[in-house]
Structure 1
Amino acid sequence: MITAVVLAGYAGLVGATVPAVLSRARWPHRAPIIAVLAWQGLMVTFVVATALAVSHMVLTEQHVHHGLVGLLTACGLAADAPAGESATTFGEALELVVPTVIVLLPLGWLVRCTWRARRARQRHLDMLALVGEPAPGYDATVVDHGVPAVYCLPGRCRRVVITQGALDILSEAQMRAVLEHERAHLAGRHHLLHLLVDAFSRAFPGLPLARHAKEQTQLLVEMIADDRALQTHSREALATAMYEVAAAQAPSAALGAGGPGALIRLRRVLMPQPRPHRATWLGVVTASIVAPLLPLLVACGP
């Protein structure tokens, strides 16, 4: 029972306390790639800790006492399990359903979110085939719309879309900078990160970690794309382009240069901050890797 309490407390810490602290920290905006890894590590840690906590609460005392061996024995998988005890009873099988559901729930939502995103992208591609015009100089598709917007559609039939309003208002340098931002999304497959946090937030609605992870990951991937664009373009060009398209909202399943968080990103582009000390990001990477393993050590240790 003590193990179950420890695991439940660890899950609560990861699911409620740590996200609030991390979302208010300053270093993530200076190292967005490492910050995304930290949020992914927290989500994996929460699932592992919660599933193990529930399994220790519902399994019999004998199985809990023997840790992983007892759990495998309950499943009839332990090599040294006595012949008369290796088979799992119907009640024991039911006891394993809840922790299994905790693990499979976000995976199920991931499949559903992926399917819905693909359908939305395909509908938009079908629309672009009717109203879009090629822009060979930019390797993009132009849509006759007055609101300045630039966004990309990831996936197999990846596409960068520019509205006529953006063509009218952005200079050549600004257009090249914002297009590099969108191509960074495509090259980095950032839509997969969106799918992961979306699935997690739907699997655990109301959980602080789910809310913060989704909000912060959406902002951080935009910062990653900004950093990629700044490698070949000036801060002034990118900042001006971001300002002009800030009010635009990307369609469903697309990634756009504007939208929520544009002001935070604009300030970050114009007033760059030094990257965190090497010890800081090494510590974050190590913690992100170790955190999901701690529940396993607690649950399956001697």
Structure 2
Amino acid sequence: MMAAAVLALYAVVAVVVLPGLLSRSAWAERAPRMAICLWLAACASVVASAVFSALAVAIPATVIGHGLAEFFEACADMLSNGVFLTSPVARIALAGAGLITARATYCGAAIVVRAQWERRRHAGMLNLLGRHDGELDAVVLDHDEAAAYCLPGRTGKAVITTAALRSLAPEQVAAVLAHEQAHLRGRHHLVLAAAETFSRAFPHLPLFVRARGEVARLIELLADDVAARHHPRIHIAAALVRLATGRAPAFMLGAGGETALTRVRRMLSPAAPLRRRERIAGLAAVAFLLAGPAAVAAIPGLSSFLAHHCHNISIF
């Protein structure tokens, strides 16, 4: 029961405390990819902790102590004998674990299905109204609003409006399309869908709400950095200024939007990249967030296993 209590306490505290800690990370804009991993790992660790806490309550550690084969046999016996059904605590714990898992799975599937439907509909519109420009490797859409965005998916494509082509210099067009290609190559829509899944499955919880907004912002910073490897930052900044008011359609990723002007300052005043020690610390934090809940949940079973086979060994 100690492991279950630790996991439950962590889930409750982390969902409130982690948003503040991660938001104050001074190096997030210096390493957006690492920051994205940390936000998603934090969300996953809270959900995993809640599920493992419930399972730790429902499944006694002694059941695991006899070995893997005996563990599955004992679980089958417990189910067939109705032990779970007659134990209110275990029944509630299992129901809670199942509800959390089902909720996250349902919301994730709903987001993916809705996004695919919207993108297929938009792709059909682009086939009718847009034209592919081989030189730009993008679809040009006749529209009065200056905008550039990408249509993710297996046949992903970058889209730019005629208004954007009129207002941007050729080198700026190349820079902004490199930003959109970075979204497509990096499959950033899947990353955003993961953050959206946590936010929709567990609404109003600070960590998941904040993660959704931060991941969306950091994805744009990451695409800017990828584009800056091949294009001068001044060109990216100039393009962002002109596209700041442009908005991408639903379930698309666009170069403009609310974060454009803050990204301009970042492009013009780039921060130093992370040092090796900082990168290692970030990777260690991601690993701890992902592996920590499973490790804590496994300690009682491992202790029981060692005690059963070594008699005098106990670690928990």
Query: Please, what TM-score do these two structures have when normalized by structure 1?
Result: 0.90
**8 Å contact from structure 1 (residues 48, 103) kept in 2:** no
Q: Which residue in the other structure is 2:310 paired with?
A: none
Q: Which residue in the other structure is 2:309 paired with?
A: none
Task: Give the aligned residue type for 2:99.
Answer: V
Q: Which residue in the other structure is 1:41 paired with?
A: 41
1:66-215 alignment runs, 5 A limit: 66=62, 69=64, 78-79=71-72, 81=74, 85=78, 87=80, 89=82, 91=85, 94-95=91-92, 96-215=94-213
Q: Which residue in the other structure is 2:7 paired with?
A: 7
Percent sequence identity over matched residues? Answer: 36
**What is the deviation of 1:83?**
8.9
Query: Please, what TM-score do these two structures have when normalized by structure 2?
Result: 0.86
Q: Please, which moves more after superposition, 287-296 or 192-201?
A: 287-296
Task: Give the aligned residue type for 2:38.
Answer: A
Q: From the superposition, tell whether residues 150 and 130 of structure 1 become closer, same or farther in structure 2 (CA, over 3 Å).
A: same
3-state SS of 1:145 partner: coil
For 2:155 and 2:220, the matched residues in 1 are separated by: 21
Q: From the superposition, tell whether residues 3 and 119 of structure 1 become closer, same or farther in structure 2 (CA, over 3 Å).
A: same
Deviations 1:47-98 (A, max 9, x none): 11111223345x3xxx4453x728x99xx97156399657352616844232
**8 Å contact from structure 1 (residues 197, 210) kept in 2:** yes
For 2:49 and 2:152, the matched residues in 1 are separated by: 33
3-state SS of 2:281 partner: helix
Q: Which residue in the other structure is 2:27 paired with?
A: 27
Q: Please, which moves more after superposition, 141-150 or 8-17?
A: 8-17
Deviations 1:241-265 (A, max 9, x none): 0111111110011110011211221
Query: Unaligned 5+ residue runs, structure 1?
Result: none
Q: From the superposition, tell whether residues 269 and 83 of structure 1 become closer, same or farther in structure 2 (CA, over 3 Å).
A: closer
For 1:100 and 1:131, the matched residues in 2 are separated by: 46
Query: Unaligned 5+ residue runs, structure 2?
Result: 304-316
3-state SS of 1:258 partner: coil
For 1:295 and 1:134, the matched residues in 2 are separated by: 49
For 2:165 and 2:44, the matched residues in 1 are separated by: 42
For 1:122 and 1:88, the matched residues in 2 are separated by: 50
Deviations 1:214-270 (A, max 9, x none): 111111111111111111111111100011111111001111001121122111111
For 1:4 and 1:244, the matched residues in 2 are separated by: 53
**What is the deviation of 1:148?**
0.6
Q: From the superposition, tell whether residues 51 and 77 of structure 1 become closer, same or farther in structure 2 (CA, over 3 Å).
A: farther
3-state SS of 2:123 partner: helix
Q: From the superposition, tell whether residues 133 and 47 of structure 1 become closer, same or farther in structure 2 (CA, over 3 Å).
A: same
Deviations 1:116-150 (A, max 9, x none): 00000011111112211222221111111111100
Aligned residues: 294
For 2:157 and 2:279, the matched residues in 1 are separated by: 34
For 2:199 and 2:72, the matched residues in 1 are separated by: 38
Q: Please, which moves more after superposition, 48-57 or 233-242?
A: 48-57
